[in-house]
Structures are given as structure tokens and as C-alpha cells.
Chain A
């Protein structure tokens, strides 16, 4: 194969990776159900992407008592958390299942730790990137903040924005 063909193939490969990456996330944002999740932030720094706020949700830590035995789960397990969504779109924990629910609002997560009957679960929406040095603005208003999250039909979630007093938080 000559160099020109290889050059074009690698170019297409790059476009496919970048395009696929964007399409995968846009699919969730465009087609997903929008819900609000209550957050509890702190702020560290990523090596390549700068400052971000770590978002912990009320549904990040789940007590399985009454639903499952905590010992039924181990680190790395995929779980589906069913959500109750009220009229203001605020979502709260309803149930937890190993299998994908047939209907209703739910979000897919991965068990990170098991402590007694408590499960720590990660949903892939635990980081919110902010301009350098602006994390404090979120920290100081932590009690009023919700994450506006789009969830697709498979339970995959993407953060759309942070919301405070009904408005998107603008950080400049």
C-alpha cells in the first residue's frame, strides 16, 4: 500500500475516532431524558483538562437494605438505578436492579466500593470541568446546585449543565 493511501486511511481513522466520540455523547444529549440530580461538590485538577468539580450525588451512595443483599454486589458490577422524577424534573432514588429495566427513568452505573449494605456507585458524570480557578463559585453555592443530566435509553448519562435557582450556572 502506498504512503498516500495510508495517509488517507489514518486521516479517516482519526475522523472516525473523533466523530464517533462526539456522536456517542451527542446522541445522549439530543435524545436523552432530562433530569436534575442533587450534587455535593469538591474541586481538584485533571492533568490534561484542568480544573474540575467532583460531583457526588445523592444516588452515588445507595443503601441496598430492603432491595438486595449488599454482598450480592462486588466492585466493578454494572447496576441500573431506577429514578423517581417529580414535576420539577428532580430525580431521586427509587430502586436498584442488576438488569436493564423495561421502562421508567433509570441510569446505568458501576459499583466502585461495597461497605456493609452501602454501595458507592459511579455513573460517569462525576466531573464537571470549569475555567481555571472558578471552581470556588460552585463550592460556595453547593447547597443550591443541581446537575442537569441527559440519560439515554440505555441508561448512559451526560451532564448538560449545572443549575442554580432554576438557571444554568455561567462560569466566565
Chain B
């Protein structure tokens, strides 16, 4: 996109005249103002939709008995279908408020979930039922593809991850199943990431693909970060935990296997058939496959030493550098930001992990503070440099 700095450069080089520069500046400023205004409208109306949706869920949650059940259902269903209808009118009917229309669709999707929970509450369906989240997900998924709704794509990713948690841990999270939380969410995150990649095969689904991939990436990074700690990656030092591992519920083993196999198939498909066939596509899918393969080795052959903790720490650090590299290659500041965010968290966490017992407390905090301040300055500078170079690449 053209900016004021470039217009000035072109003017200095004599590529454009003073008049042309003036007109271009006015156009650029108007475009910038319009973009800002659009973003503001989207932000405000999405926040409004989220607040209304949360309000509706809290309304259900309070189980207010003053209103009869039938009246509560009527209120919620008319709000759900009202939001849905108005969203359609604004975006596709009159087309006068398309941004608000998108937010109303999102509100409709949230209220649909609240309606499901209200009915489930009235009929006393068992608490924490995974089926309810699945029904909500099935109900909103057509939106993602029919109306290419990005907020609903994000909502469906979230519901997918909640459903997986409720499904795998349906008998509760106990100490011997808690260790597997990061592995399950790593394979689920990879599955979301790889499914997102498949969306690139169909024209027009690029934005949906990106939402799935970014959310998949974020949940995978969080899971990998947890695996850099001994608690999650070396719990079997102790024969007590080894004994618990032998009685692992079958749904955890089957769940991890199914998610991993599906992810591997989807990643291979992306590797071979992604329309871009770029080097970054090969790197991304290759690294994801490697990470998944290594995690399967860890799951089936857990070590009794802390070797996996060391390998996961190295892998995680390597992945951070890889994300920054890929973000730069793809001119994608969001991916760079994810890399830098995790670099900061990783350094901070590992500093505590390694030095808490070794240093005197005052020195610990002074050194820690210095690392944070200097590290913050260095990271901010680096991030700005990358961002500026991405702007140049985009031009």
C-alpha cells in the first residue's frame, strides 16, 4: 500500500508532480481514515456481540425461576433468530450495514449456544456434557462456509478445542491424565493447523484457513511450552507415576492416535497439494510433521531421565526462531509477533526455572529485572525492524 513517505520519495525523484503528490496524499489520508473507521466499527460491534452473548449465557446460568421456562425459551429463541435475521438484512438484504451484519451473525451464533444450554438446563441434561458443545459446533459450522464468517470460524475452533477436552477427560482430570493435557492439545492444535491448510485448496476460503491455522499454531505453541517443563515431559522418574501410566484410560491413547494420524494425513496433503507449493509451505508442514512425530515417540516411549525436557526446550526455542523466519518470509507480522511473544515468555519462565534456587533473592530479582528491561528494549527494536522490513517487502 502507498504511504506518505513513498509519495514524498517519488516527488523528490521527480516521478510525480506536486499536483499529483497532493492528490495522492489526499486519497491516501481518506483511505487510511476509512480503514480506521471500519476497523473501529468492527471492533465495537464485535465487542457488543460478545457482551450480549456472555449476558445471555449468564442469564441462562442464573436459572432465574421467576420467568416460566417457556417464556425464557421464547425470549432466547426470538433473540437468536432476530439477530440472525437482522444480520442477514444488514449484510445481504439492504447491504447498508455490512460490518454490523457480520457482528449480528456472530451474536446469533453465540445466542444459538445459549439456547442449547437453556434447553439442556430445563431438561436437566448432565452437566459438562460434551454433546452440547458438539451440537453448538455443528449448528454454527455451516456459517463459516456459507457466509465466510471469520469470528464464527474462531468460535468454532474454540468449541472444537473445548469439545476435545470434555471428550478426552470425560471422567475428570486426575493426576495421571493431567500429564497428557499438552500432548492432547498439541495433536489437536496440529489438527486444526493442518485442517486450516486444507482450506487453501478451495478458492475463497483463505481467510478461514488463516483463522484455523493461527489458532492451531497458538494452541500448539502453548502445549509445546508446557512440554518444556519437567512436570509434563519427565514425569516418569517415579515408579508411582510409571504404575499410573500403565492404567491409562483408553480414550487418551485412542484420542492422541486419531488426532495425530488425521493431522499427519492432512499435513502430507498440504505438503503435496497446496496450490502455492512454496518453500515456506514445505518448511511449515515438514516442521509440523517432525514435531508431531517426535511427540508420538515421547508418548509411546517416555524416558526415565529428563532428556525429553531438554529436547523439548531446544525444539521450542528452534520453533520460535522458525516462526520469526517464516513470518518474515511470508511478510506476516502476526506470525512474527507469536514468535516474539513466546520468546519473551520462554526466557522469563526458564530464568525462574533455572536460577530461583541458585541465586540470592536480591540478585535474582535485580538480574531478572535487568534481563526484562534490556530484553524488552531489544525485542521491541527487533520487532520494529522486522515490521518495517515487512512493509518494504509488501511495497
- Residues of A in contact with B (beta carbons under 8 Å apart): 3-4, 6-7, 9-11, 13-14, 17-18, 21-22, 25, 29, 44, 46-52, 54, 75, 112-113, 122, 124-132, 158-159, 171-172
Contact = CB atoms under 8 A, between A and B. Distances in A.
Interface stretch (B60-68, B352-360, B362-370): B60-68
Contact of B92 (A4, A49, A54, A113): A4
Among all A-B residue pairs, the 10 with the closest Cβ atoms = A50-B61, A46-B127, A25-B123, A127-B127, A159-B124, A6-B146, A48-B117, A3-B92, A49-B121, A129-B121
B125 A132 contact: no
A131 B65 contact: yes
A8 B112 CA distance: 16
B199 to A, nearest CB: 18
Interface stretch (B28-36, B137-145, B215-223): B137-145
Given A7-B88, A14-B112, A131-B65, 5 more contacts: A14-B84, A14-B139, A46-B128, A125-B126, A158-B123
Given A14-B80, A17-B138, A50 B126 contact: no
B115 interface: yes
21 contacts: A3-B146, A7-B92, A10-B84, A10-B143, A11-B84, A14-B81, A14-B112, A14-B139, A46-B128, A47-B128, A49-B60, A50-B62, A51-B63, A75-B171, A124-B125, A127-B124, A127-B125, A127-B126, A129-B63, A129-B122, A130-B63
Contacts of A22: 119
Contacts of B88: 3, 7
B147 interface: yes
A131 B135 contact: no
B142 A52 contact: no
B119 A21 contact: yes
A122 B146 contact: no
Interface in B25-84: 57, 60-66, 77, 80-81, 84
A3 B112 CA distance: 20
B135 to A, nearest CB: 6
Contacts of A125: 124, 126
B62 A132 contact: yes
B374 interface: no
Contacts of A46: 61, 127-128
A112 B251 CA distance: 13
